[in-house]
Amino acid sequence: MDNQWYLAIIAEKERFYRLAYSYVKNEQDALDIMQESMYKALKQYGRLREKDVVITWFYRIVINTSLNFLKKNAKNIYIEDIDQESIAAHPRKNYFELRQAVNELPFQYKTVIILRYFEDMKISDIAGILGENVNTVKTRLYTALKKLRVEISEEDV
């Protein structure tokens, strides 16, 4: 019974894949990250104490694997911050620009935006995945939204 835990992960594969893809922006690298994540999961599952958090746990693996991948591949060094000039030059509302801006967010901001708004997760769950406290995640989300120029109040993230 317990060896079926990975079916829960496989059932949610699209979410993990999309997250990996958002970091590396190409299929082959995203598949590689998934493969390595799966490998780590298979190896480490035995040491996982709370078996009911397998999804959260696998998210963490995918995020860490992606981060390692980016660090290793110099060509993929992520942009530290959005180029404010280029946004100011296009002050029109434009979904392409917004998508682009999400794409170019630094790693930790992109992660919280995707998990919170794209995957519709609760802040407490995101905190669990990242191993941070809820307030840190909120602050990070608020900063990320500001970078994206999304109108929002701090209480409303």
- Which residues, other chains included, contact 60 with Cβ-Cβ below 8 Å and sequence gap of 6+? 129, 130, 131
Nearest distance, CB of residue 15 and another protein, angstroms: 9
Is the CB of 77 or the CB of 131 nearer to another protein? 77
Residues 150 and 143 sit within 8 Å (Cβ to Cβ): no
CB of 40 to another protein, least distance (A): 9
- Residue pointed to by tokens 């390692």: 68
Residue numbers at the binding site for another protein (CB under 8 A): 6, 9-10, 13-14, 17-18, 21, 26-29, 31-32, 34-36, 38-39, 42-43, 69, 72-73, 91-93, 95, 98-99, 102, 113-114, 117-118, 120, 148-152, 156
CA dihedral of 136, 140, 143, 146, whole degrees rounded to 10:
-130
Residue 78 or 118: the one with the smaller Cβ distance to another protein is: 118
Contact present, 16 and 25 (Cβ < 8 Å): no
Whether residue 117 contacts residue 141, with contact meaning beta carbons closer than 8 Å, is answered with no
In the complex, least distance from residue 3 CB atom to another protein, rounded to whole angstroms: 8
Encoded amino acid at 18, one letter: R
- Which residue lies nearer to another protein by CB, 45 or 107? 45
Please, which residue, 68 or 133, has the CB nearer to another protein?
Answer: 68
Q: Rounded to the nearest 5 degrees, what angle is found at the Cα of 142, between the Cα atoms of 63 and 58?
A: 20
Find the shortest distance in angstroms from Cβ 142 to another protein. Answer: 12
Taking the least distance from each CB to another protein, the nearer of 27 and 133 is 27
